[in-house]
Amino acid sequence: MYKIFKVEDKKKRAVAWWLIAGVIMIIVQTLLGGVTRLTGSGLSITKWNPLFGILPPLNARQWNEAFDGYKQIGQFKYLNSDYTLADFKSIFFWEWLHRFWARMLGIVFAAGFVFFLVRNYFDKQMIRQFIILFVLGGLQGLIGWVMVASGLNDSHLYVDHIKLALHFISAMILACYTLWFALQLLIPHEKRAPDKKLHNYTLLIILLLFVQLTYGAFMAGLKAAMAAPTWPLINGMFVPDSLTHNSLISDKINVHFIHRGMAYLLLALLIFGFVSASRSARRYNTSILIATRWWPLLLVALQVTLGIITVLCAPMIVPGKFGTFEILAELHQMVAMFLLMSLVVNLYVVGSTTPTPS
């Protein structure tokens, strides 16, 4: 009987680490999306060909056809009309790489699923979870195309910032679900701390962080950094005059205010959460929580710092160049994703009910 359970544990660990590899690939994919946005490359591929679009143009005729497609949209006509074919190739690369990585992600999940299924590594519950995972993955790809399509017209220079946020948030939901799935296989129930209050508190922080991530995507989609490259005040104001009469999701200054305010709120809540997690770790003598309680606190401090520096470096933006601001923006996005993943780990570790042996 002992040997049987050891084999099952090895099977679960193998599946779990495969899922974690998938989470890492999702994070890389999201970062590539950030580079695509920062380089202005997102609208360079004007067709959606999920099955046969894996190869870039391979000859002069194909390159000219792709470039002609880009010339039909507003971004070329009103922003990049001076682009040569060489310029187009430089932005095409990042969008192609973003889509190529998405296809590789799908292949890794599909091939791994078939491999583990044939080797009988799954139980019925895991099959149901994988169905949800594949549905979320397919939905993410569809949302991505809807986002791109919002900018493929004669009247828009960029994709719609709300659809950009939806694309980003759906990627984060997929990453969180995949990580949670892996944690169920990696961490035994008896190693979790049954602290329902801390569980609910952590869940609240995650929900607030999703709001913050949404506003971060609004900042990116609206290219709002240059609207208020100041700190701690927003262009000399603590509370902007536009707050009461302009949109809270489309006005650049209002988006700034909410994004910054949420950052300060999350920092305060996570300091208190660290204290609560420390008490819970001592109470239940949970070695995993003793380690993981530090992650959100350190990451949120780094995230706030990066956010401030990124905003202050906004005047350094040079169109068409990937410089200091763009590197900081990518780091800011990466740490935000790590913060979210760390909170998911802590949410799982502090189970809401008394753990029972599996």
For 270-281, what is each residue's pLDDT tens digit? 999 999 999 999
Helix (H, G, I), strand (E, B), or coil: what is residue 214? helix
Supply the DSSP symbol for 237: B
pLDDT tens-digit map of 245-277: 999 999 999 999 999 999 999 999 999 999 999
Copy the structure tokens of residue 179.
Answer: 């990580």
**DSSP bridge pairs for 234:** 237
Instruction: Walk along the chain (358 residues) and give the pLDDT tens digit of each residue.
Output: 344 344 458 888 999 999 999 999 999 999 999 999 999 999 999 988 776 678 899 999 999 999 999 999 999 999 999 999 999 999 999 999 999 999 999 999 999 999 999 999 988 889 999 999 999 999 998 999 999 999 999 888 899 999 999 999 999 999 999 999 999 999 988 888 889 999 999 999 999 999 999 999 999 999 999 999 999 999 999 999 999 899 999 999 999 999 999 999 999 999 999 999 999 999 988 889 999 999 999 999 999 999 999 999 999 988 778 899 999 999 999 999 999 999 999 999 998 665 444 4
Residue 261 makes CB contacts below 8 A (sequence gap 6+) with none
Distance between CA atoms of residues 283 and 286, nearest Å: 8
321 within 8 A of 39, measured Cβ to Cβ = no
**DSSP bridge pairs for 237:** 234
Neighbours of 105 (CB within 10 A): 19
DSSP characters over 51-102: TTTTSPP-SHHHHHHHHHHHHTSHHHHHT-TT--HHHHHHHHHHHHHHHHHH
Distance between CA atoms of residues 355 and 112, nearest Å: 30
